[in-house]
Amino acid sequence: MGRITNPNPQSLGILGGTFDPPHYGHLALAENARVQLRLDRVLFVLAGQPPHKPEQPITPARHRAALVEAAIADNPAFAISCVDLDRPGPHYTVEMLALLRRKHPQADLFFLIGGDSLTQFLAWRDPAGIARQARLAVMQRPGYEPDLGALEQAVPGISERLAWLDAPRLDIASSDLRRRVCAELPLRYLVPPPVECYIREHHLYRRL
């Protein structure tokens, strides 16, 4: 596995998503990235309406923010960012990273993604702009083998912007968690207890 060490005084991991709800898969990726890349902090960046899922309803931002805060409360190296919510859509990663770059001009940014996302990276808005603003910290996923040659041809130099993470592959999906709540199935051992408590107390995901 390749590993990028970071001499800068501040290094930030960026984990974006709707977090609807956040789960142990998100937390395991963030913590493994923090340790392996020697990150000072990992930001959980709440997404607005994903441009690739314009018709998919998502839970109001205030609930998703509260869920993330509940999930990360016991880790002082984790923080929440709503930079992507405080602007009109559509919400693209390259624009979100530009906002974070302005907020943290001296930081070295690492954008955390799964190997499945890397296989689709060239279809994203301005992949070269993303790679310029942040290094890509990639968690490998079984069944997904990115075409590194095609990536390098389309975005010259991207190979030097990749860091491969050795993270556990927890097969947890937020969509399945929402289904489980609707079906009155347990969330224990899938999400942190405070997240489950918030979901139950606020009657989230009762209808899909």
Q: Is residue 184 part of a domain?
A: no
DSSP secondary-structure letter at 161? G
Whichever domain contains 84, its CATH number is 3.40.50.620
Q: Are 105 and 140 in contact (CB under 8 A)?
A: no
Q: Give the span between the Cα atoms of 56 and 42, in whole angstroms.
A: 27
Q: Is residue 27 part of a domain?
A: yes
Does the predicted model carry a pTM greater than 0.75?
A: yes
Q: Is residue 200 part of a domain?
A: no
Report pLDDT digits (tens) over 141-199: 766 778 899 999 999 999 999 999 998 888 899 999 999 999 999 999 999 999 999 99
The dihedrals phi and psi of 169, each to the nearest 5 degrees, come to -95, 90
Q: What is the pLDDT of residue 7?
A: 44
Q: Is the pLDDT of residue 86 over 80?
A: no
Q: Is residue 3 part of a domain?
A: no
The dihedrals phi and psi of 150, each to the nearest 5 degrees, come to -65, -40
Q: What is the dihedral of CA 187, 205, 143, 145, to 10 degrees?
A: -120
Q: Give the span between the Cα atoms of 60 and 64, in whole angstroms.
A: 7
Q: What is the pLDDT of residue 3?
A: 42
In the chain, the number of structural domains is 1
Q: Give the span between the Cα atoms of 92 and 5, in whole angstroms.
A: 27
Quote the mean pLDDT of the chain: 89
Q: Is the pLDDT of residue 81 over 90?
A: yes
Name the pLDDT band for 4 (thresholds 50, 70, 90).
very low
**Chain CA centroid to CA 164, Å:** 15
